[in-house]
Every structure is written in C-alpha cells, then in structure tokens.
Amino acid sequence: MPAHCGHVYVMHWNVAAKQKLFVPAYSMTDGRVRGFLINTDVPLFFQTKPELMAHVLPIQHSLNSGFLQHDSWLCCNEVVGGFTVTQLENATGSYRGPIDSTLQVEVLRVVQTSRLIPERDKVQILANWPPTPPAVPASAPSIAPEPI
C-alpha cells in the first residue's frame, strides 16, 4: 500500500452520500486504508479556528488538473478510513493521480507538527508517506479518467 500514499482516488462515501476525493496516507495490518479527504470548500467552522486551518492545505487546479476541476482543499485535520487496499485497487476508474510534490511536502510538515492527529496515526503516516514525489502505482491506469 505505501505506493498508493500521496495519490488520489475517487470513492463513494456513504456518510457524505456522494463521491469524494480520497488521499491514502497509510494502510493498517488488516488491509484497511486511512487517509485524508479533499473538499471543494473549507467549512465555515474551520475558518474561525487557526489550528484547524493550519491542517487545511490548498490544492491548486493548475498543478493537479488530472483530478481537480477547480482549486480545492486537502483536509489533514482528520484521518479517515472506510476502504481496504483491495477495494481501492479494484474500484474501476477510481485512480486519479498523484498529488503535486509541493503539496506532498506540506502534508508531511502538517503531520509532523500536528496536535490534532492521534500519535498512532502520525507514526504510521510518517512511516508510509512518500518523502519524494510518489510513483504511479502498478495498478493505476495509464490514462486518468476525467476529473470530478
């Protein structure tokens, strides 16, 4: 699974009742994947909380046009899960591409200094997150599908 860390997948989230862009950060020993969500907007509540805003990283469409239609936000304040490595790899058309290298470095910085991310998650993310631009996983299609 580490090859998938720092890459973007579109998956249906039952909680949100819609498709969301998901960036795996690590996988657990049982195969479940944990990571971050990409949102179109920053929740208003976050905007009044500097510590939360420090965990919300801008993603520029111009650097990530393979999976974004407009500028968005990578929310690193909460590590979420719900899928397995197998589900990610078998979800036809779910792979969108790697996040840009500048954003990848910013994620590491946020995780390293975070007081919001539980220590057990921090340890796993730091051990699995690629220190350099991520290589495209072997299971990734050669042509990315249209952005959502």
Place of tokens 């796993």: 124
- Going by pLDDT thresholds of 50, 70 and 90, the confidence category of residue 140 is low
The mean per-residue pLDDT over the stretch 115-119 comes to 96
Q: What is the pLDDT of residue 101?
A: 87
Question: pLDDT, tens digit, for every residue of 1-49?
Answer: 455 889 999 888 776 678 889 999 999 989 899 999 999 999 899 999 9
- 9, 6, 8, 77: which is closest to 43 by C-alpha? 77
Q: What is the pLDDT of residue 142?
A: 42
Query: Measured between alpha carbons, how far is 71 from 130 in angstroms, rounded to an integer?
Result: 23
Question: pLDDT, tens digit, for every residue of 94-109?
Answer: 889 889 888 999 999 9
Residue 54 CB neighbours (<10 A): 17
- 25, 49, 45, 46: which is closest to 35 by C-alpha? 25
pLDDT of 120 over the 60 cut: yes
CA-CA-CA-CA torsion sign (108, 113, 117, 118): positive
Contact 34, 24 (CB under 8 A): yes
pLDDT of 137 over the 70 cut: no
How far, in whole angstroms, is CA 128 from its chain's centroid?
13
Query: Measured between alpha carbons, how far is 99 from 82 in angstroms, rounded to an integer?
Result: 21
pLDDT of 73 over the 90 cut: yes
CA separation, residue 76 to residues 42, 73, 97, 138 (Å): 12, 9, 18, 26
